[in-house]
Amino acid sequence: MLKKIIIIHTGGTISMKEDKSSGEVSTSTEHPLSNSASIFNHDAHIEEDFLFNLPSPQITPAHMLELGRRIHDKLAAGNFDGVVVTHGTDTLEETAYFLDLFLQTRKPVVVTGAMRSSNEIGSDGLYNLISAVRVANTDEAQDKGVLVVMNDEIHTAKNVTKTSTSNVATFQSPQYGPIGIITKQEILFHQKLIAYESYPIQQLNKNVALVKAYAGMESNFIRAIHNAGIDGLVIEALGQGNLPEGIIPALQEMIDDNIPIILVSRCYQGIVQATYTYEGGGRQLKNMGLIFANGLTGPKARIKLMVVLELTNKLTELSPMFE
């Protein structure tokens, strides 16, 4: 019996066309891949749902929550065996990671997109869509969390990131690599998840800021963010988790106000560690109460903090969720 897969479209380059005269790429009134379902007739029963038609820089956490609820409702009804989401690549990794934290399902959920619009030479959209449906259609894709399928590779939502502005091989998982590959004949998984986390939130209203540390950073910048009324802060720190000493007083003020601060590294490999004991070093930051996130990028740590703050804002409860 053929499986039933639903494709939920949200917009992005995969839904756009190039103006041949100017080279500009923009949204179109009709999704260029909307009539492609017939391609899968021999492999799966396909239905399509056009939820959004947005460039991914316009996707907000509210859109992510709406998408998560839509997927939950479709799967809970028992009518579908898997889900494919088409999405713009700029914020694809954030949406995929939110879905990974939000959804509670064994069924495959696969996110894909395109680096080239549908009518560009070398367009990758239709091929990635076919690959994503193939992955969602396999029994082996169950119990692996939300997956990202691009360019013949299968990545976990937690580890994947966009590494190039325009290369079709942009999505990579630094340190970890893809958990599977796609060939013309097979879907091959060579890694499996050893842990899974899910947070059944009902809303997503917390205001979490993300900043990147830099040489000579001063407290006035941190205080301005503090005064904006944020609920949490993520800092992409230097190296193993160190910060300029000039911002330490402002960070202490935030901690005193019970505003959680999550620390990740601005390096794309390695994890933050409480190693250095100098002023602004990781050991001091850890002792102050900053929470060290194990292996997450800044954007994903922000998504996770927004999610878990809907459940608690106690530092003692937040810390084990990240560390």
Work out the average pLDDT over 311-318.
Answer: 94
Range of the domain at 178: 4-189
> Is the domain of 38 the same as that of 82?
yes
> Is the domain of 40 the same as that of 179?
yes
Work out the average pLDDT over 177-203.
Answer: 93
Collapsing DSSP states into helix, strand and coil, what is residue 182?
A: strand
Quick check: is 161 in a domain? Answer: yes
> Is the domain of 152 the same as that of 18?
yes
**Residue 221, domain CATH:** 3.40.50.40
Work out the average pLDDT over 23-45.
Answer: 70
Work out the average pLDDT over 191-195.
Answer: 84
Residue 35 in this model has a pLDDT that exceeds 80: no
Quick check: is 196 in a domain? Answer: no
Q: DSSP string spanning 8-68? A: EE--SGGGEEE-TTT--EEE-SS-TTTT-GGGGTTTEEEEEEE-----GGG--HHHHHHHH
> Is the domain of 170 the same as that of 307?
no
> Is the domain of 177 the same as that of 284?
no
In tens, the pLDDT along 54-104 reads 999 999 999 999 999 999 999 999 999 999 999 999 999 999 999 999 999
> Is the domain of 184 the same as that of 213?
no
Quick check: is 200 in a domain? Answer: no
Q: What six digits make up the tokens of 65?
A: 């929550």
Quick check: is 255 in a domain? Answer: yes
The residue that leads in pLDDT, 25 or 136, is 136
The pLDDT assigned to 17 comes to: 73
Threshold 0.85, pTM exceeds: yes
The pLDDT assigned to 194 comes to: 82
Last-in-domain residue among 154, 189, 224? 189
119 pLDDT tier (thresholds 50, 70, 90): confident
The pLDDT assigned to 192 comes to: 83
Quick check: is 199 in a domain? Answer: no
16 pLDDT tier (thresholds 50, 70, 90): confident
120 pLDDT tier (thresholds 50, 70, 90): confident
Is 89 marked within a binding site? yes
Last-in-domain residue among 130, 155, 189? 189
> Is the domain of 17 the same as that of 154?
yes
Last-in-domain residue among 189, 224, 254? 189
**Residue 130, domain CATH:** 3.40.50.1170
**Which residues have C-beta within 8 Å of that of residue 222, sequence separation ≥ 6?**
211, 247, 250, 251, 254
Quick check: is 198 in a domain? Answer: no
Work out the average pLDDT over 21-49.
Answer: 73
> Is the domain of 138 the same as that of 47?
yes
In tens, the pLDDT along 142-179 reads 999 999 999 999 999 999 999 999 999 999 999 999 99
> Is the domain of 67 the same as that of 97?
yes
Quick check: is 201 in a domain? Answer: no
Is 173 marked within a binding site? no
> Is the domain of 148 the same as that of 279?
no
Active-site annotation, residues: 13, 89
Share of the chain above pLDDT 70, in %: 94
Residue 22 in this model has a pLDDT that exceeds 80: no
Quick check: is 20 in a domain? Answer: yes
Phi and psi for 200 in degrees, rounded to 5?
-80, 70
Is 90 marked within a binding site? yes
211-237 per-residue burial string, b: 16 or more CB within 10 A, e: under 16: bebeeebebeebbebbeeeebbbbbbb
Work out the average pLDDT over 184-210.
Answer: 93
The pLDDT assigned to 38 comes to: 67
Q: Report the alpha-carbon distance of residue 260 to residue 269 in Å, rounded.
A: 24
> Is the domain of 222 the same as that of 312?
yes
Q: What is the mean pLDDT of the chain?
A: 93
Residue 128 in this model has a pLDDT that exceeds 90: yes
> Is the domain of 164 the same as that of 220?
no
Q: How many domains does the chain have?
A: 2
In tens, the pLDDT along 235-264 reads 999 999 999 999 999 999 999 999 999 999
Angstrom distances, CA of residue 54 to CA of 38, 90, 111, 128, 311 = 25, 12, 15, 19, 29
